[in-house]
A and B are shown apart, each in its own frame.
Chain A
Amino acid sequence: MTTVSLGRFLLKRAVQGVFVIWGVVTVVFLLRFITPGDPVTFIAPLDASQELRRRIAAELGLNRPIYVQYLDYLAGLLQGDMGYSYISNTEASARVFARLPATVELAVAATVVAVALSIPLGVVSATRRHEPVDYGATLFSLVGISTPNFWLGIMLVLLLAVQFGLFPTSQRGTGFLPAVAGTVGQFDPGLVVRLAVELRGEALLAYLGKLPLVTWLAHITLPAVTLGTYFTALITRLTRSGMLDELGKSYIRASRAKGLPESLVRYKHALRNTLAPVITVVGLQLGTLIGGAVITEAVFAWPGLGTELIRAINLRDWPLIQGSLIVIGAGFVVVNTLVDALQAYLDPRVVAD
């Protein structure tokens, strides 16, 4: 496979992606016209006169023909303008992008948890078939894909936060980067060594527990596990069945027969061929990750895009509803295109199709 055709493939996917994002924007824009309720009723006081209602509609530009509003909205979006929030006195885009990092951080943390646990678990499960570890992994993945993540989150809070007080029950604390910066700024290795040498364990733990990075970790652990469990279970399942398929193929037998070390056969050959289909399914499931993030945020009062979207829906704050939905939809398309690119890189046959 030449780099030229890979490049053309990626370009084609990117152009497709742009069209899908345009579709996303259009659907989100039309949502206001296909759902019942006039935005003005939510903004105007209950006893507002017809005249006041008309003035509000005119001020927000809601009295113009749909296609004018649509073109105006598209033109605004191209300049990063999502309109002005109806309820809070800010640009909708400012609120959306202020909330986005928390959601991305949560989704990335969950993915890290999922990938770090599931691929080793799936591989071990496939190579030690019918041993206790295999049964354990199979049971875990069955229950994992069958558990509502919001309930799992509540159970984790009940056990680890309420009963044992190991983790905070909700909220985010600081973001990852400020936490790193804060920790680097205030970390005092001399103090840690002194406390360790003097065997003052409690004081040492108290000191470490106050470091911003540790606080960050304490806050994100339960939400990340909550969101990541479904994916851990799913990828474990896929890795296991994929590995079993691959290990039964003749090229594996041939590699073993010619005396390649078992680890090379397993991890270089079988695992690599397993990962391509796994990535396809994970790409298809990215939407579930984002949807799961919305509800995980609700459980842990995580200040992300999901909590913002739900708040905006309840208040009918249309610019915020539209902005959040577009960022979620467009984000999905972008990440999905990147997954396609990764897959094309791992498995050149994808490009040929």
Chain B
Amino acid sequence: MVDLDWLLHPVASGALSRLREALRLSPRTVRNLRTEFRRSALAKLGVGLIVCALLVAAFAPALAPHNPTNQNLNDNQLPPLGFDRQTTNTTSKMVNGSIEIVNETSWVNSTGEHPLGTDSLGRDMLSRTIYGARTSLIVGVIGTGIAALFGVTVGLLAGYYSGRIDDALMRSADVMLAFPSLVLAVALVGLIGTASVRVPDPFVRAGLTPNMPETFTLPGTVIIVVGLVNWVWFARVARSEALSVRSEEYIKAARAVGASDRHIVTRHVLPNSITPIIVLATIQVAAIILLESALAFLGFSGTTLSWGFDIAQGRQYLSSSWWIATIPGVAIVLTVVGINLVGDWLRDALDPGIEGEGGGP
């Protein structure tokens, strides 16, 4: 087991207490988190996996051995280290005045240049997988942020005011829930089109990694759509939390001293509903990463540097080059396992008792 006790180091603790204040977690909650983390090897594994994925995504240009978009058709479909690929060359020769078809079998060996092999256009799989982490994590985190912002707002208002607003909001949530998030996302991205945003890469700009792509492509439509199709889960959780705290004494007291609704919702209702929302958000990042990869697999993405996109292109070379479709999938599984383990850790430590695990294929 990787030693991760450095996370409990004073510096990290300082960061943790600032985070605690930002999220308004009680000291008891933080203590539970820490005890549960020390106790559970799986929580450590999960945090380790996520930290790795974040580092890989952040330092992609520095870590990738090649430019992930550079094609080299001479080196296409190179196998990963330790594997061979059999190819059959069919040539025709003149033998005694007649043409004979000759099948020559040869082996393509892996080279140290491309430790995880290359794809059908000779692009380096390791570099593509490293850059794919960026797309997945950015879409996962921003998408969850959009879903949480929208869903929590709607849910808190519905729960706090209840009555007719609640009915209207929750009926519209029911309609949203009738569409599986993947189906709705496919329809929206397919019909709106895949707009994307190019962001300059700070590493290349600073001249540190001159050979890497100068810009990083964010799949704009996908980010917004995955957020919009998942807000309902946040709305449900926030609503039930708001419903349960709205009749508490301290809310009545705040109202009695003349606090505005806005003040009560943001200063009292939200902080007291935050733990289940945090747990849900964690699980949603995993669900949205899976959703993004599914969209990219179906060809509805705004970028080609995505694990799902590589799985789709590798699928066409399944019988000759198994690694093209296999490697990005392993990356997805490791990332999502990490997030789910952290989700379990948070749930065990915070025990909000929420039902449902969000969407996700």
Q: How far is the CB of B11 from chain A (nearest CB, A)?
A: 31
Q: How far is the CB of B336 from chain A (nearest CB, A)?
A: 4
**Given the interface contacts A23-B175, A24-B178, A143-B333, does A148 sit within 8 Å of B355 by beta carbon?**
no
Please provide the 3 A-B residue pairs with the shortest distance between their CB atoms, ordered closest to farther: A291-B182, A291-B180, A23-B175
**B351 is an interface residue with CB less than 8 A from chain A:** no
Report which of A23, A280, A328, A332 forms a contact with B172, defined as CB distance below 8 A: A23
Within 8 Å CB of B319, what residues of A? 162
Which of B62-70, B121-129, B185-193 is found at the contact surface with chain A? B185-193
**Given the interface contacts A154-B318, A333-B178, does A295 sit within 8 Å of B357 by beta carbon?**
no
How far is it, in angstroms, between the C-alpha of A16 and the C-alpha of B178 when the chains are bound?
13
Q: How far is the CB of B236 from chain A (nearest CB, A)?
A: 9
Q: How far is the CB of A249 from chain B (nearest CB, A)?
A: 16
Are B311 and A24 neighbours in the complex by a CB distance under 8 Å?
Answer: no
How far is it, in angstroms, between the C-alpha of A263 and the C-alpha of B319 when the chains are bound?
49
- Nearest-CB residue, chain B, relative to A19: B171
Beyond A142-B341, A158-B325, A288-B359, 11 additional contacts (C-beta under 8 Å) are: A23-B172, A27-B179, A31-B187, A155-B325, A234-B357, A281-B356, A294-B180, A295-B294, A298-B297, A299-B315, A321-B191
**A57 is an interface residue with CB less than 8 A from chain B:** no
**B286 is an interface residue with CB less than 8 A from chain A:** yes
How far is it, in angstroms, between the C-alpha of A289 and the C-alpha of B359 when the chains are bound?
10
How far is it, in angstroms, between the C-alpha of A162 and the C-alpha of B172 when the chains are bound?
46
How far is it, in angstroms, between the C-alpha of A21 and the C-alpha of B341 when the chains are bound?
37
What is the number of residues of chain A that contact chain B, defined by CB distance less than 8 Å? 56
Are A280 and B355 neighbours in the complex by a CB distance under 8 Å?
Answer: yes
Are A310 and B293 neighbours in the complex by a CB distance under 8 Å?
Answer: no
How far is it, in angstroms, between the C-alpha of A325 and the C-alpha of B190 when the chains are bound?
13
**Given the interface contacts A146-B333, A148-B294, A151-B325, does A24 sit within 8 Å of B175 by beta carbon?**
yes
**A350 is an interface residue with CB less than 8 A from chain B:** no
Question: Of residues 1 to 41 in A, which have CB atoms within 8 Å of B's CB atoms?
Answer: 16, 19-21, 23-24, 27, 31, 35-37
How far is it, in angstroms, between the C-alpha of A31 and the C-alpha of B184 when the chains are bound?
11
Within 8 Å CB of B177, what residues of A? 284, 287, 332
Most chain A CB within 10 A, of B178, B328, B333, is at B178
Question: Of residues 230 to 288 in A, which have CB atoms within 8 Å of B's CB atoms?
Answer: 230, 234, 277, 280-281, 284-285, 287-288
Within 8 Å CB of A154, what residues of B? 311, 314-315, 318, 325, 329
Question: Of residues 280 to 314 in A, which have CB atoms within 8 Å of B's CB atoms?
Answer: 280-281, 284-285, 287-292, 294-295, 298-299, 306, 309-310, 313-314
Report which of A147, A150, A277 forms a contact with B333, defined as CB distance below 8 A: A147
Report which of B192, B297, B328 forms a contact with A295, defined as CB distance below 8 A: B297
How far is it, in angstroms, between the C-alpha of A29 and the C-alpha of B110 when the chains are bound?
54
Residues of A within 8 A of B (CB): 16, 19-21, 23-24, 27, 31, 35-37, 142-143, 145-151, 154-155, 157-158, 162, 230, 234, 277, 280-281, 284-285, 287-292, 294-295, 298-299, 306, 309-310, 313-314, 316, 321, 325, 328-330, 332-333, 336
Are A292 and B186 neighbours in the complex by a CB distance under 8 Å?
Answer: no
How far is it, in angstroms, between the C-alpha of A125 and the C-alpha of B172 when the chains are bound?
39
Q: Per DSSP, are chain A's interface residues mostly helix, strand or loop, or mixed? A: helix
Are A148 and B183 neighbours in the complex by a CB distance under 8 Å?
Answer: no
Are B308 and A148 neighbours in the complex by a CB distance under 8 Å?
Answer: yes
Digit string of B302-318 for contact with A (CB within 8 Å is 1, else 0)? 00000010010011001
Q: How far is the CB of A171 from chain B (nearest CB, A)?
A: 15
Are B322 and A285 neighbours in the complex by a CB distance under 8 Å?
Answer: no
Most chain B CB within 10 A, of A147, A150, A162, is at A150
Within 8 Å CB of A316, what residues of B? 191
Question: Of residues 311 to 361 in B, which have CB atoms within 8 Å of A's CB atoms?
Answer: 311, 314-315, 318-319, 322, 325-326, 328-329, 332-333, 336-337, 340-341, 355-357, 359-361
Are A287 and B179 neighbours in the complex by a CB distance under 8 Å?
Answer: yes
Residues of B within 8 A of A (CB): 171-172, 174-175, 177-183, 186-188, 190-193, 286, 290, 293-294, 297-298, 308, 311, 314-315, 318-319, 322, 325-326, 328-329, 332-333, 336-337, 340-341, 355-357, 359-361
Are B357 and A158 neighbours in the complex by a CB distance under 8 Å?
Answer: no
Q: How far is the CB of A318 from chain B (nearest CB, A)?
A: 10
- Nearest-CB residue, chain A, relative to B330: A151
Within 8 Å CB of B180, what residues of A? 287-292, 294, 328, 332
**Given the interface contacts A20-B171, A158-B322, does A288 sit within 8 Å of B187 by beta carbon?**
no
Can you list 28 pairs linking A and B with CB atoms under 8 Å apart? A20-B171, A24-B179, A27-B175, A27-B179, A146-B340, A148-B308, A148-B311, A148-B361, A151-B293, A151-B328, A155-B325, A281-B356, A287-B180, A290-B183, A291-B181, A292-B182, A295-B297, A309-B187, A310-B298, A313-B191, A321-B187, A325-B179, A325-B187, A328-B179, A328-B180, A329-B178, A330-B178, A332-B179
Are B183 and A294 neighbours in the complex by a CB distance under 8 Å?
Answer: yes
Q: How far is the CB of B117 from chain A (nearest CB, A)?
A: 15
Report which of B171, B332, B361 forms a contact with A288, defined as CB distance below 8 A: B361
Are B294 and A150 neighbours in the complex by a CB distance under 8 Å?
Answer: yes
Q: How far is the CB of B47 from chain A (nearest CB, A)?
A: 15
- Nearest-CB residue, chain B, relative to A277: B355
How far is it, in angstroms, between the C-alpha of A325 and the C-alpha of B185 when the chains are bound?
12
How far is it, in angstroms, between the C-alpha of A158 and the C-alpha of B182 when the chains are bound?
25
Within 8 Å CB of A289, what residues of B? 180
Within 8 Å CB of B322, what residues of A? 158
Q: How far is the CB of B246 from chain A (nearest CB, A)?
A: 18
How far is it, in angstroms, between the C-alpha of A79 and the C-alpha of B85 when the chains are bound?
58
How far is it, in angstroms, between the C-alpha of A289 and the C-alpha of B336 when the chains are bound?
19
Are B355 and A281 neighbours in the complex by a CB distance under 8 Å?
Answer: yes
**Given the interface contacts A158-B325, A277-B355, A284-B355, does A146 sit within 8 Å of B179 by beta carbon?**
no
Within 8 Å CB of B311, what residues of A? 148, 150-151, 154
Within 8 Å CB of B293, what residues of A? 148, 150-151
Are A313 and B187 neighbours in the complex by a CB distance under 8 Å?
Answer: yes
- Nearest-CB residue, chain A, relative to B185: A291
